[in-house]
Structure 1
Amino acid sequence: MLEKSNIVLGVEQEIVDTDCEEALDVLIESINKEGNLTYFGELAAQYQIRQHLNNRSLIQKTYKTLDSQKVSKPIIVIGLPRSGTTFLFNLLSKDESNRSPLFWEMMKPLPLVKKDSISELSRVIRSDAILFFKERFIPKLDDLHRIRSKSPEECLLIKVFALQSILYFYMANTPSYLDYLSKSDSRVSYKWHHKFLRVLEETHKPERWLLKDPSHLGNLEEILSFYPDACFIHICRDPAETLPSICSLTSQVRKGFTDSVDLKDLGTRSLEFWSSSNSKNEAQKQKIPSESYMQIQYTDLVNDPINLIQDIYTKFQFPLNEITLEKMNNYVEEGSKEAKAKHDYSLEDYGLDLQDVHNKLNFS
């Protein structure tokens, strides 16, 4: 059982009391009552939550010392999970004008360190160790979602600073927490998201931030309240392909922390959550100026990624030079040479019906 007193031990009370105590209470109760964690899973959950609170405390202390709260314009890749967002995200990251938070920066962002310094190397080694243990307990994770310490990573690892992140649902069966996540005021998580980026800008202020997280899909209004100049690239793919894929990834992650995984329940909960997110997106995107929102098809990304990149840069009026194009071409060519792991899953594995998935996610 997780004990709140143990988790917050050593964390300043002000940090817990401000705007995350409700999320913390819901998360702990959901994990204890529904999570079915192993002893190792409980230790891992407790360590992660405490680490997120400690990072939150350091971010707040640093943020208070900054003169300006403005951050660079973000370009945000959105779409249902497993819809090609990672491929596009990594492709766009080859442009040096775009900066994305790296995995090690999300794990231990503070105190700030200089690029290529001994201190940075120490952080990278530490995050390499975290990834090593993750691979030991979740052996197939690298095949499904490759993570490297010095690679750009998605924002679910930033939203943990407000304890409002779908990461926790991926770790354990936490339906009560997932329901809370769907209905709570997500502006809190974006407030801390914004603080985190502003703190990172003390080491390097980019021309643009490049961000990605499927959970951004239904939070356009909340994002714009902190990033009014944000532009969005929305990838659309058949949810009959994406939904069993994210369920498969979730089940593999949970096997490292829980005694058993109810695949049918996982399918039902995942469909409900992403259906709700998609509905919010459809309502909110109508209010966004067309010059700030681009909807693309997964097939176009796969069939001709470089041509699509050129269309994206034209749409948002970003300069695209030959050096960047060459880097992107090299990334595409290297990816095509890599052996792809065969994924063996279906809608039926998770108790899902094709027509129901298409109807609830408005796909035709």
Structure 2
Amino acid sequence: MNKDKKHKDAQIGMGMSLFRFLKFWRQTQWQVAKDKESLLVDYLAYFLLFGWFFTLLGWLEYLLYQRRITRTPIVHQPVFLLGHWRSGTTYFHYLLSQDPQFACLTLRHASTYPCCLILDKLGWLKKLFDDQVPQKRPMDDVELTPDAAFEEEYALLYTQGSCYLAWLFPAVFQTFFQRFLFFGNTSLAASQWKQQYAKVIKKLNFLYRQKRLLLKNPINTARVKLLLQLYPDAKFIYIKRNPVDVFHSTLRLHRKMCQDSAIQTLTEEQNKAAVMNIYPSLLQRYFDERHLIPANNLFEVRYEDLVHDPLGNLASLYERLQLPGFEQVKSRFEHFVMAHQHYAVESYQSDDELLNTLRQQWHDGFCDWQPDAPSVSSSRAAG
């Protein structure tokens, strides 16, 4: 079994208990595609063999650390990096993480969230996890390491759940997104999410020694109001990209994730419908709520502009958000940009019918990005 295959079998919620997996699978009426039966067996075996182990370590970690986590104050309110999937959020996250004033959740800590503090103390277990991580992300070949900056949404898989369960169980794709992205439009569900999310942030605050958290999570694009209720002085960065490129790249992401992780299948038309529907809903919620952010706490940038002039845009970002130390870390940014300047992304072809559909259904996204702009493809990695 090669390295990528081992990681593939448990890349969504690798520390999940078997009970939790069955709980969510039950909501699909136990559906499984015929060509996914072997993957289901892998999941069941993995969660049966290792889920209890992660659960026990999680209980132990709670007993050892919870009081200290709760008592540790948050000195710096977080910086939230927002934007639809495939808008350049990963590239921007990796770029900003070169500044040592920020702490970024790592792939290792996100994937083993319930017991990540103990895992750091157990060198053999840490090495066992690190050996499972592929060298590149499956959807775009972006470099991947155990210490790569990652999304805290994966940590939420172990609390109340996450939209990303849809990539395990695509038969209820829309249900999971409505439930965990918009909380079924109920105040109770939103309140429960805030409680769980605040616990995640408190633990990360303790884990990373009270440094300012730099958190990239596309789903948070629709949670500005809730985030401000938790962290009223938080800073926000919003990146936007040509909607045509976003559509094609997101569709590719969905295909790849469902191919690698799902125990059910979606048709190509169902995949397209999911991408087509989520984009305007996510962005509209952001457009409705961004006025709540104080002007000096919000920086917006086009992905294409960031790629064209990364240092100039970073200088503007630091000035707008009143972040210290840009000149001291400028050389780090330059080194990162130079190292990734030749990274090529996929180019896509769009027929007139698709372009017209996108311009109609994603009209607000086009207006936000650039009115009447043609599709472009850049020479950097997006994510």
The TM-score normalised by the length of structure 2 is 0.75
Name the SS of the counterpart of 2:145 in structure 1.
Answer: coil
* Aligned-partner Cα distance in 2 for 1:249–1:31: 26
Give the partner amino acid of 1:100: C
1:51 Cα shift? 7.6
Aligned to 1:269: 274
1:1-364 paired onto structure 2 within 5 Å: 25=23, 28-30=26-28, 32-33=30-31, 38-43=36-41, 54=55, 61=63, 62-68=65-71, 70-71=73-74, 72-109=76-113, 110=115, 112=117, 119=122, 121-132=123-134, 141=138, 143-173=140-170, 174-175=172-173, 176-184=175-183, 185-256=189-260, 257-258=262-263, 260-338=265-343, 340-344=344-348, 346=350, 353-359=357-363, 361=365, 363=367, 364=371
* Aligned-partner Cα distance in 2 for 1:52–1:304: 47
* Aligned-partner Cα distance in 1 for 2:47–2:308: 39
Name the SS of the counterpart of 1:179 in structure 2.
Answer: helix
1:215 Cα shift? 0.4
Residues 192-218 of structure 1 show CA distances to partners (whole Å, capped at 9, x for unaligned) of: 333233224334324310000110011
Judge conservation of contact 1:108–1:123 (CA < 8 Å) in 2.
Answer: no
* Aligned-partner Cα distance in 2 for 1:52–1:216: 31
Residues 105/111 of structure 1: CA separation in 2 closer, same or farther (3 Å cut): closer
Residues 52/312 of structure 1: CA separation in 2 closer, same or farther (3 Å cut): farther
Q: Which has the larger displacement, 77-86 or 23-32?
A: 23-32
Residues 51/206 of structure 1: CA separation in 2 closer, same or farther (3 Å cut): farther
Give the partner amino acid of 1:181: F
Q: Which runs of 5+ in 1 are unaligned?
A: 1-6, 17-22
* Aligned-partner Cα distance in 1 for 2:284–2:341: 34
* Aligned-partner Cα distance in 2 for 1:52–1:251: 31
Residues 77/224 of structure 1: CA separation in 2 closer, same or farther (3 Å cut): same
Residues 150/140 of structure 1: CA separation in 2 closer, same or farther (3 Å cut): closer
Residues 153-176 of structure 1 show CA distances to partners (whole Å, capped at 9, x for unaligned) of: 122212212343222223441323
Name the SS of the counterpart of 2:40 in structure 1.
Answer: helix
* Aligned-partner Cα distance in 1 for 2:244–2:89: 16
Q: Which runs of 5+ in 2 are unaligned?
A: 1-15, 184-188, 372-383
* Aligned-partner Cα distance in 1 for 2:264–2:119: 42
* Aligned-partner Cα distance in 2 for 1:209–1:316: 14
Quote the sequence identity (%): 16
Residues 49-77 of structure 1 show CA distances to partners (whole Å, capped at 9, x for unaligned) of: 95899387567544345452642311111
Residues 120-152 of structure 1 show CA distances to partners (whole Å, capped at 9, x for unaligned) of: x434423333324xx8xxx97063454320111
Judge conservation of contact 1:224–1:230 (CA < 8 Å) in 2.
Answer: yes
Give the partner amino acid of 1:68: R
Residues 92-112 of structure 1 show CA distances to partners (whole Å, capped at 9, x for unaligned) of: 101110001111111224262
Aligned to 1:19: none
* Aligned-partner Cα distance in 2 for 1:104–1:349: 43
Give the partner amino acid of 1:154: E
1:177 Cα shift? 2.2
Name the SS of the counterpart of 1:63 in structure 2.
Answer: helix
Judge conservation of contact 2:242–2:366 (CA < 8 Å) in 1.
Answer: no
Judge conservation of contact 1:164–1:189 (CA < 8 Å) in 2.
Answer: no
Give the partner amino acid of 2:144: I
Q: Which has the larger displacement, 141-150 or 292-301?
A: 141-150
Judge conservation of contact 1:91–1:328 (CA < 8 Å) in 2.
Answer: yes
1:247 Cα shift? 1.4
Judge conservation of contact 1:161–1:192 (CA < 8 Å) in 2.
Answer: no
